Amino acid sequence: MMRQFELVDRVKRYLPEADEDLLNRAYVYAMKAHGTQKRASGDPYFSHPLEVAAILTDLRVDDQTIAAAILHDTIEDTGTTREDIAHRFGENIADLVDGLTKLKKLDLVSKKAAQAENLRKLLLAVAADARVLLVKLADRLHNMRTLHFVPPDKRARIAEETLEIYAPLAGRIGMQDMRDELEDICFRVLMPDAHMMMTQRLTALRERVGGLIEDIETALRARLAASHIKGEVKGREKRVYSIWRKMERKSISFEQLSDIFGFRVIVGSVEDCYRALGIIHQEWPFVPGRFKDYISTPKQNDYRSLHTTVVGPRHQRVELQIRTRKMDEIAEFGIAAHAAYKEGPADGEVPPSSNAYSWLRKTIELLAEGDNPEEFLEHTKLELFQDQVFCFTPKGLLIALPRGANPIDFAYAVHTDVGNNAVGCRINGRNSPLISELHNGDEVEILTSEGQVPPAAWESMVVTGKARASIRRATREAVRKQFVGLGRRIVERAFVRAGKAFSEEKLVAALPRLARQTLDDVLTAVGRGEMYSGDVVKAVFPDFREESTKAGTAESGKGWFGVQGAEKLKFKVPGQEKQGASIPIRGLSDDLPVRFAPNGGAVPGDRIVGILTPGEGITIYPIQSPALMAYDEEPWRWLDVRWDVDEHDPRRFGAQLRLSMINEPGSLAEITRTIADTDANIANIAMRTKTADFHETVIDIEVWDLKHLNAIMSELRAKPMVANIERVIE
């Protein structure tokens, strides 16, 4: 275990002005707080925060960050409180330690939800102070290095979480070496056979090529020296997980890889980078399509370098990275390499010289857009994709997106309003579908139209979290506007029936009595059927009393079309009481007779509405039924209802099909046999001749749900004797 003076010495080597007293006090306090606690390995628990601090000294972080690393588990695992830390070490360090502390006693239904809430808390702390993430990643790295002491079931869960979240996080802030080590450990834990195979292949390749790396290093140094370019050459071998991931992504074999061996050429200036590139290309032929200029177009994590692949000595493909010393520091240490960071972020601000946190700020914006913890976790994982494409707006603005992204993702990356109003696009000047996959260098122009609402189907087409969240929100808002409009018409008619003048000002004043915060909340509730319009009138005019003839069931206090969205009731179908049949509909109260509309009806999977007929009950229609047009001027009769099908008690529902069939022997037998083979039941068949060659058949069938009905129609449509088939809804 590292001694107190050893830790101080490590920090003072790169930060002579470090607060030695602060480091000593943090060391002693944490050692006493953890006391006799042990890790799974049997080592004293205090050895863990010391190792975390040691990892951070390699990144040359400031003394406050080192102190926070030493103290990072005290609040979570000991009796220490945030107030204790703030009193002894100041508010800055207390905020860092608190940001690294997991939430306790989470009242959540799943581990996934708890994981999401803890990640949410961490990212909020990171947005306030970048140093929180550095400590968290160092903490995770040491935990992964000692993962073999953890039970196997827990080991796999931790490795999966690290591979999905923390390794990409390290890559996104430019700490590539840390990301590589985290991924390799996860690879060994989650896929041990694949890890062993890749290790053996690398060992065999290393033995086969002998001193290839040394030969190439020597040749590169000699060529640069001959051109009077001062530079340093470093050879390296690609990590096993990176090799495996590339083979999987591109579906290629180990032998087809061209960048197993790579070299970094570090020179003095940007001009020397391009000079070195030209010299190298003159010496060895470069592989077409393998050159990338990340100096003129840096990655989002501030990474800058020239990449090229050449056919070097022994006809071996070799990847070269050419960069300056400063670029190399940023590639190695990420955000910690920025001078602004070394001075310590002022007031928790992110270093102004870094673009690495622009992504993080966008991710934090999604916190308010997720309806639940799992949705937030989904957004974050989507944003963590490492493989990116770089596209441009017509004005030259660079937009980085995950691979597989399309112009819809691009539109939302530009601005939410651009995405919501998108109706088309041009890629490199050509009109293209909005679902086209984007590639590096594409110039994308989004065509918009005011008042456009993004289709809900877009949600399944996009790949970025921001696009998905924005589409969901826009869809919810569009539906809400519809309910607001419907609710307003219902309320205005209710005031007319009551003989009262409708007034928004008076209704706003009555909001507390309706337990709603805004006027739109009231109108939405009425439109959804969650609030009776008569109650709105009573809230504005407390002395108003409805006549019993209008209330129908006034003694219930709900009115004759009251709705309770959370209540689940099943209503008897008229004429079927003896068999105990019922319609599984949710969203109604009062024991009113309920029936399906004739000639087609509805099946589970259809969006349905209820139409109230006083004295007769409620009729259920599919939303696409033409019969609903007759009730456009009577919105007070519309009820928002939903299916309440019990999967453990399945039942069939009626639907009607109209077929145009060739008039030949055996055609009807083939149709009925097909319906029987698809597990449907025929209730009635009616036929009439249209022409000498064709006849029309209307078949009433009983199916399980909409998916079942569509499958039957697909089967029938494929039959040679069927000229046309459609569902009948009247």
- Direct distance between the N- and C-terminal alpha carbons of the chain, in angstroms, rounded to an integer: 80
In degrees, rounded to 5, the angle at the alpha carbon of residue 336 between the alpha carbons of residues 14 and 177 is 100
Compute the chain's Rg from CA coordinates: 34
Pick from 689, 706, 698: nearest CA to 598: 698
Q: Strands of 444-448's sheet, edge to edge?
A: 430-432, 422-427, 444-448
How far is Cα 681 from Cα 212, in angstroms, rounded to an integer? 73
Helices 358-365/465-498 angle, 10° precision = 30
Active site residue 77: yes
How far is Cα 679 from Cα 708, in angstroms, rounded to an integer? 9
How far is Cα 215 from Cα 206, in angstroms, rounded to an integer? 13
Identity of residue 317: R
How far is Cα 421 from Cα 408, in angstroms, rounded to an integer? 10
Torsion of CA 203, 204, 208, 214, to 10 degrees: -10
How far is Cα 306 from Cα 290, in angstroms, rounded to an integer? 11
DSSP lists the bridge partners of residue 642 as: 586
Torsion of CA 27, 28, 29, 30, to 10 degrees: 50
> Are residues 303 and 331 in contact, defined by beta-carbon separation less than 8 angstroms?
yes
- 49 exposed, middle or buried (CB, 10 Å; 0-12, 13-18, 19+)? buried
From the list 20, 43, 58, 76, the catalytic residue is: 76
CA distances from 265 to 97, 296, 331 (A): 39, 17, 13
> Are residues 53 and 31 in contact, defined by beta-carbon separation less than 8 angstroms?
no
How far is Cα 13 from Cα 561, in angstroms, rounded to an integer? 78
CA distances from 643 to 61, 488, 591, 619 (A): 58, 26, 17, 14
From the list 77, 293, 374, 640, the catalytic residue is: 77
What is the set of active-site residues?
76-77
